[in-house]
Structures are given as structure tokens and as C-alpha cells.
Structure 1
Amino acid sequence: RLITILINPFISCSARLPIYVLLIGTFFPDHATLMFMCLYFTGIIVAGFTARMLRRFHFGQDVTPFVMELPPYRVPTLKATLRHMWGKGEQYLRKMGGVILVASIIVWALNYFPLHDGQNAQNVSAETVTDDSAIDPSRDSYLEMAGKAINPLLEPLGFHWRASVAALAGVPAKEIVVSTLGVLYTGDEEASEQSLSTRLTSPNDATGKPDFTAAAALSFMIFVLLYCPCIATITAIVKETGNPRYGLFSVLYNTAIAWVVAFIVYRIALLI
């Protein structure tokens, strides 16, 4: 039971799908099905490896037998199915809607402040930008400072500082990653997929190269697939196990294994 709880976060959830859709649609449109399968199989393989290691080194013997009584299986009725779908959807929106909204506002504020000398809200807004040098809404912002501070840890994975910030913002909820990229690249968390894809593949004014390449995008997806679970998942792990150490283990181990796997994938992708 404990092993199952600890390996569950490696199985890709629906919250990561918008990230996959954005990056696969941008960099691997001709092999979308294969890329999705590889991502899911990667999570399954890492989960199996982790379960094997936990069984061998930590849970060598079962302390107590685990018995669970299963209810009788019946064909669900349409009414019960719709009621269940509505209840779960409502629960999800209530729980995550506020988190995503608050996190997006925080990301926007950190990306917007402090203002440049002699600038005001009007001349730095995304709507009044007219030249390429001013199109970067995050220049000199607190978010850029934070991204550049943690980027040395993730730069070996091919991450630009914006990708590092998006990964960090995804810790509360993975749904925030795409909106964070939208804020960082377009100044709008509701930017269309097409406009965001264009910005991801456009050359950076400072380096003359795109922030994302196919290898970096693949590394980013692998990292997001495997790294630290969201806050709700960590809370559930602690609650179900009754031990905060398992929640801490999930944060540290998952992030470490995500870094290693993403690094290997990135280096291999550069050679192909």
C-alpha cells in the first residue's frame, strides 16, 4: 500500500496534458502519438523501478497483512455516471480553481514588478508594446531574478530561465505551467496556443537562438512528468501514510530522479 502511494505521482495525470499538447504540438507534430506513448511509458518504467527499489531496500517484509474488501462490480447506469462526473468535476474546480487563479496572479505580479525607471503601467503593458526590444514583459522583474537564481541547477537539462520559472510555478499545481509560460513569453496567461508556440520557437534577442529546442522541450516534458508532485498530492500522501517523511521523500526523490532522467534524455536528444 505504501509503495503504491509513493509511485502513483510518476503516472502522468490530466494536469500535465496541456504541457504535452503545447510542446508536442510545437516541436513534434508529426510524431504526436509516439511522443505521448513514450511519456506515459517513461512514467510507468520509473514507477516500476522505484517500486522495486523500495521493496528491496525499505519494505523488505510486510509488517502487517493488507486486506481490502472489494465491492461487487456492476454495469454503471447513465444517471450514476453523470452524477459522479458532475460531483468530481465540481470538486476539482472548487479545489484547483482558486489555486490556479491565485498562483497566476502571483506569477503575473512577480513578472510585472519592479517597473523600469521612468516607466509606468501604461508604457509597459503588453497592449502598447511596439518594438521587439520591449516585447519581453519580464525584463528586470522579480520573476526573472528568481528564474536566473535557480537556473544553474536546471541549465544542464537545456532549460532557459523562463522554463525554470515555469517548472517552479508548477509545484503548487501543474496546470499553472502553461499559463506561466504565457505570462513570461507574451504577457498574457490566456495567450493562444499558436501565439505561445510562435514565441517559444522565436530567436531570443539576447542569444539569437530560441529558448526552446526539440531536445529542451523533450527534457522539459520528462522533468515535469517526474518531478515534485503538486501540493494536493503531497498532502494526500502525508494524510494517507500518516507520516510527513513520506511526503518529504516524494518531493526530494521525485525531483532527483526527474533531474537524472531529463539530463540523460536531453544529452541523448542532442546526439540524435
Structure 2
Amino acid sequence: MDPCTYKRYHLHGHDSRQFLDHYFSDKPQMAFGEDAVIFPIKSLIKAFSAGHIKGDILLDLSIGSLIHHLYSACECFKDIIVLKVKDRCILEMKRWVDKRTGAFHWGHAAKHHVDIEGKSHQLEDKEVKVRSSMQHVVKCDLEKENMTEPIVLPPTDCIISAWLLDAISKDQDDYIRYLRKFSRLLKPGGHFLLIGSLGMTYYTVGKDKFHVFRYDKDFTRKALEGEGFIMDECKVHKRTAVSDLTDYKAVIFIVAHKEK
């Protein structure tokens, strides 16, 4: 398929359930468990357990209807506000939050969390705590000056962004433009936690291929520093998955904080 014909996540959307099944489920044929589920969970547990990333509000700006990257966050923030560009993703997340029939099963992610933390007896409490924190799932328009118009969000203490910048950016300038918009939502001194994929050009959902902006570690670091962030941690996990659904080379995890 010609890359010029690839779809764009924020313009065309994708089947939210198929996306989760392909890349984040516990199905036997799902090849990305180590890269897309376990590595982010381990990295986030370590980052939050240090104790300096905390506050009242955490903002999530991530691709699809992901939940697993928020299990650690709920221990450090009173409220989690989730922004989504597509209605189908909002419906998918609310189905899980409200424990409706047919909601995606995230039990495997919760189990990874409590097992890694050495708190297996708190599995049920972990699910309850995440759901109670995620009471605001809001539609956003990435092209508007105020992405949540007419709602005006208060400055946030922390932002987590998982794979969204990869999917919405056409090129380097686009990536930096969106990063700048995200940064404006963050308090001075606030933390930015970024999860992305290096060397990636596409991902597949069903029969459709979607565009991904290809970049490397040095570009990401320079982009963050150029927007006034100080790097606290940068980890790269080389790909272990064997699959032609997507072509990433590694997963990157970054913790940075905004200069005061």
C-alpha cells in the first residue's frame, strides 16, 4: 500500500475495539504484550513510585481507548481528565468506566500492575480506584486554540500522552506544533510523561493502514527541550513483537518537567 493512501487517526478514526484487540488485549495471538502493555506499566510504576509526580489533576492525551497506562496515575492524582478526538473512543472508555456489558477487558493490565507492585491482594481495589478517578472523558478538537471549547480546563499538574503525537503528526513541524499545544495545558513545573514508538511509519486496524510520523530518540528529546521541558528520564525498549501489523523499531518512555 502506498503510504500516501494511509488513513489518519484523528481525521478518519479507527475501530476502537479492533485496535485494542490487536495491540493491547490478552488474546493468545496478541504479539505486543511486552512492548505495548508491560513496558509502559513497569516504566510508569517506577516513575510514580518516586513520589515527586503528584497533584490534583492529571490530563490524559492518548491514542484510542487506552486504560492500562492510568493504573499508576490514580494513586498520585485525585482526578484524571481524559481527552479524546473521536466519539467512538469516548463510548469505549465510558463503557469500561461504567462497567457496562461488553466493555473491553483490562483485567490482565490490572494484574500486571499489582503483581509488579507486589500487591496482588489489591487487584479489586485497583480497578475501583481507576474508575473513580476517571469521571471526566471529554471530546476535544486538536486544531482549536482551546481544544476542549467551550470547556476551559484548569492548568494541570501532569500530562500523560501515549502514542497520540505519533499518530496525529505529519512531520517534525506538526509534532512540535501539537507538543506546544499540549504544553500550554500544563502548569509550570508540571510533569509530562510521553510514550511513543521509534522508527514507525504505520499501524494496521482491520483492513486499514494508518499513518505514523517516523522519528528517533534524539528528535523527541530536542523537541521537548525546545518547548521548555527538562528531561528527567528517557528509556528505550527494543521491539520484541513478531508481527506485520506495524513496523515500529522500539518503544520510548520519557519523563520531563516544564520549566518554572
TM-score range, shorter chain: under 0.3
TM score, norm. by length of structure 1: 0.26
* Larger relative strand fraction: 2
